[in-house]
C-alpha cells in the first residue's frame, strides 16, 4: 500500500496568528465554533461544518495573503504513512524520527510533516 492509499481526507488548515483571541472572535463571527482549545498554550481547533482550522499564536506570523502555515491530511495509520513517506524519499521536516504525539483532543494526535516542491508544509495527521 502506498501513502496515497492511506489518505482519508483533509483534516484541517493551520493558521498562525499574532492575535489569537482576535482570530477566534473573527472566525466565530463567520459561524465557526471552538471544537477544542488548549488550556496550556494558545492553540485551538475551530469548525464550521466540514471545515476545520487550527489556529495558534505565532508572534512572527507572516501577515500576507496566502500565509497559511500548513495543510493537514487525515490518514488511517500515521506510522505506516510515515514509513511510506520515508521509503519514497519525501523530505520530512517534522517527525524525522517518527510521528510526533501532541496532547490535543481526548486521546491526542500523532503527526509528521513533509515539505512540498513549493516549500509548502503537508502534515499527515491521525487523531487517536
Query: In this predicted model, what pLDDT tens digit does every residue of 28-66 receive, in sequence order?
Result: 999 999 999 999 999 999 999 999 999 999 988 888 888
Output the pTM of the full model: 0.85
Domain ranges of the chain: 3-127
Q: Residue 118 above 90 pLDDT?
A: no
Cβ atoms of 36 and 105 closer than 8 Å: yes
What secondary structure does DSSP assign to the chain, as a single string?
--GGGGEEEEEEEEEEES-HHHHHHHHHHTT-EEEEE-SSSSEEEEEETTEEEEEEE-TT---STT---EEEEEES-HHHHHHHHHHHT--EEE-TTSPEEE--TTT-EEEEEEE-TTS-EEEEEEE-
**Tens digits of per-residue pLDDT, 11-34?**
999 999 999 999 999 999 999 999
Fold of 3-127: 2,3-Dihydroxybiphenyl 1,2-Dioxygenase; domain 1 (3.10.180)
Q: Specify the pLDDT at position 127.
A: 94
The pLDDT score that the predictor gives to residue 86 is: 95
Per-residue model confidence as pLDDT tens digits over 55-110: 999 988 888 888 888 999 999 999 999 999 999 999 999 999 999 999 999 999 99
Q: Regarding beta strands 51-57 and 7-17, do their DSSP bridges make them parallel or antiparallel, or are they unpaired?
A: parallel
Amino acid at each position: 500500500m502506498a501513502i496515497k492509499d492511506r489518505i482519508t481526507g483533509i483534516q484541517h488548515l493551520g493558521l498562525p496568528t499574532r492575535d489569537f483571541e482576535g482570530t477566534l472572535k473573527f472566525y466565530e463571527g463567520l459561524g465557526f465554533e471552538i471544537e477544542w482549545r488548549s488550556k496550556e498554550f494558545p492553540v485551538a481547533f475551530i469548525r464550521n461544518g466540514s471545515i476545520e482550522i487550527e489556529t495558534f499564536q505565532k508572534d512572527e506570523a507572516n501577515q500576507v495573503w496566502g500565509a497559511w502555515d500548513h495543510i493537514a491530511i487525515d490518514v488511517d495509520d500515521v506510522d505506516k504513512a510515515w514509513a511510506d513517506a520515508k521509503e519514497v524519499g519525501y523530505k520530512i521536516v517534522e517527525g524525522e524520527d517518527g510521528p510526533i504525539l501532541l496532547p490535543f483532543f481526548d486521546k491526542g494526535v500523532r503527526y509528521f510533516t513533509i515539505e512540498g516542491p513549493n516549500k509548502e508544509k503537508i502534515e499527515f495527521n491521525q487523531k487517536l
